[in-house]
Structure 1
Amino acid sequence: MPLLESFFMKQEAESASYKPSSCPIYVSASHLKRFRYCAYGFISQCITLVDPLSAHNAFADITLWKCEKDTQTGLHAFLLLKQLNQVKYIKFEGSEVLPPSTGPIFPSFGMLKHLELGLVAGEILLGILLKSPILKTLILKGLKSKFDKELFSSADVPECLQNTLEVVKFGEVHGLEHELWLAKFVMENGLVLKRMSFSVPSWLGNFNVIEEFKEKLFSFKKPFSFAFVEFSSLRGVR
């Protein structure tokens, strides 16, 4: 399919007795501009780009839902990401299918400028950031779970934080300690940061927790001089 520009595949498990095919899928296209893949349940099939460079500068949109009975999901998701290492834009919902051990072995996303993640584990997030040297925008729906604060306090600083990362958006902030540690890591190392924003869920009633979160956040040292740091909630943007 030499002229194909947009690829979209949706894979859905219809019942508990559904048995997915193990037949591999090969995508042969020379000028992909958009690659979209959605899987609900199983990802037993290995998707292979015949020429990974065909996705050069493309938009990749991946939505995955984990199935506890399927042990191949994480592996195939990781292999798919490895082939998309030349894209400029990644939107990845469902990174929880990836085991934390894959974080350190991610390929280099040398062209990636925009990264949007759903709920993500700290190890996976750090692994991607360390391999994305020219990232400019990072959008996070939220952190999947608590992580050891030493994960970020002792980690190498990603190159993008020092040279290119300008916008960081945190979604669904609850004022928890691990959220604060990640924000601290970004704030103290973001040398070219221009905007940093936090969204508070509308159902979160304890605004005292968020006020304390803000006080601690603004007490950290800031290497930047002109960045906007804002919070959005039911009471508007501050």
Structure 2
Amino acid sequence: VVREKAESSITVTKLGDNVTLTCSIPREDVGLSYWYKLNFGYMIETIASGSFDKISLKGQFTDSKFSATKVGNMYSLTIRNASKEDEATYLCQAGTAYIMEFFNSTLLVVDGNHKFVTVKQTSDMESVHLGDTMTLQCSLLSKNENDTDQCPGENKVHWFKGALESHPGIIYHGSIRNKEEGRCDYSLSKTITNSSDAGTYYCAVVTCGQILFGKGTEVEIGMYLKLFQINIF
């Protein structure tokens, strides 16, 4: 039996840096554990498997670039000298011979130190109410003013939502709002229908053979306070 209750997150590291992904397992009966790498368009790959306190790397991951450890209930996967090839979703799974669960899902983004083009989301937090239509914006900024003549099309702009109950996934393509010197603006409009729409929304722009991510906008859902008038006769 395989159950899913993975927490989702996005980790950004710089090209050439070391990065450690962690996975906390709130169970005492764990005998089996796995780390997986899932890259879009490829089969899922097993990085490491563990039996109680013994963890072994698998296949191409046995070189010194990767290491997997366990301290108490905390499982860690370290990737050294991060490269663009390491960009992927990393999954942590653990359990027993009868029940396995996914406990963590991390999208790893490797920042290649882009000097001339960056993605900026205009707000760190948005507060909305049920039934409202929110509009999020992200901008592709360039130091070269002529770059905006080639603004990526709407199909090159994606929005991800990270939440505790689901894996990160593409939810919408953006629309172009404005093009000016050194700047391309994109937006996402969405009607808030239920509490599951809360979470952190990330903008990703595909340009010049690379994917650039914004830092995310946290959307929280507030409650209306209704006032009742009582007439006493």
Q: TM-score, normalised by structure 2?
A: 0.24
Instruction: Pick the structure with more strand per residue.
Output: 2
Instruction: Pick the structure with more helix per residue.
Output: 1
Higher relative contact order (CA 8 A, sep 6+): 2
Work out which of the two has the higher radius of gyration on C-alpha atoms and give 1 or 2.
Answer: 2
Q: TM-score, normalised by structure 1?
A: 0.23
